[in-house]
């Protein structure tokens, strides 16, 4: 089930600022308190993999992000991402970290969104996913407050995440001042990347399809 396919500027990850095609799948089993895409919990249309790939190729950009919802809830996403990689696209997968990433094509760049305590879904983190991370992958933490920040830093240390791949900390938009988060990151003296949601700066934070 496809919720929407559109072209925009990549607002997050180490690819932020680049033109990107977003393939948003329907459904999510989590209910994070700060979720900004509840519209993707339902409402979509069934599209054949061939049709999705054709639409992506028509839009033309090299960078493609498969997101949701939680895209790994649909098993068809696995052959879809393989097809996109076969077409020479740089494929990003945004996933909650609550579903096994083991079956994902190794060419796909996984953005693992580990859930912090104030998300309300911290118990959903599947920590075995950390062992499957590749250097081309990324881990992000969405930070609500100092409690979340301290918890996230501890996970970075306990799981040696900086040795795996880039680590990104982003503030919940409109809740945590990014200047405060920047100061906290500097305190750690760790190479953690501050992530701002560029699409929410460029456009209305509630806008869809941007």
The model's pLDDT over 33-84, given as tens digits with 9 standing for 90+, comes to 999 888 899 989 999 999 999 999 999 999 999 999 999 999 999 999 999 9
Mean pLDDT of 73-96: 98
On whether the CB atoms of residues 140 and 114 are closer than 8 A, the answer is yes
Tell me the pLDDT tens digit for each residue of 142-152.
Answer: 999 999 999 99
Tell me the pLDDT tens digit for each residue of 179-191.
Answer: 999 999 999 999 9
What six digits make up the tokens of 161?
């995440």
1/64 Cα distance (integer angstroms): 17
Helix axes 77-86, 49-59, angle to 10 degrees: 40
108/51 Cα distance (integer angstroms): 20
The fold of the 2-202 domain, in CATH, is TIM Barrel (3.20.20)
pTM above 0.75, yes or no: yes
On whether the CB atoms of residues 155 and 161 are closer than 8 A, the answer is yes
- Which position has the token pair 């830093």? 153
Q: Is the pLDDT of residue 123 over 80?
A: yes
89/68 Cα distance (integer angstroms): 19
What 3-state class would DSSP assign to 92? strand
Among 167, 175, 165, smallest CA distance to 195 is for: 167
């Amino acid at each position: 089930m496809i919720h929407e396919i559109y072209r925009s500027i990549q607002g997050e990850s180490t690819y932020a600022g680049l033109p990107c095609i977003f393939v948003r799948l329907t459904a999510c089993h989590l209910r994070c308190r700060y979720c900004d895409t509840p519209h993707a919990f339902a409402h979509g249309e069934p599209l054949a993999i061939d049709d999705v790939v054709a639409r992506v190729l028509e839009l033309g950009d090299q960078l493609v992000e498969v997101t949701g919802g939680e895209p790994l809830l649909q098993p068809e996403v696995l052959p879809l991402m393989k097809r996109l990689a076969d077409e020479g696209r740089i494929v990003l997968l945004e996933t909650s970290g609550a579903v096994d990433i083991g079956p994902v094509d190794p060419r796909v760049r996984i953005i693992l969104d580990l859930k912090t305590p104030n998300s309300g879904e911290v118990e959903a983190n599947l920590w075995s996913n950390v062992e499957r991370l590749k250097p081309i992958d990324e881990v992000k933490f969405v930070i609500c407050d100092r409690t979340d920040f301290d918890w996230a830093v501890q996970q970075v240390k306990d799981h040696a995440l900086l040795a795996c791949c880039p680590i990104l900390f982003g503030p919940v938009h409109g809740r945590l001042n990014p200047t405060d988060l920047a100061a906290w990151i500097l305190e750690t003296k760790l190479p953690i990347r501050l992530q701002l949601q560029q699409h929410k700066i460029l456009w209305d934070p509630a806008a869809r399809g941007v």
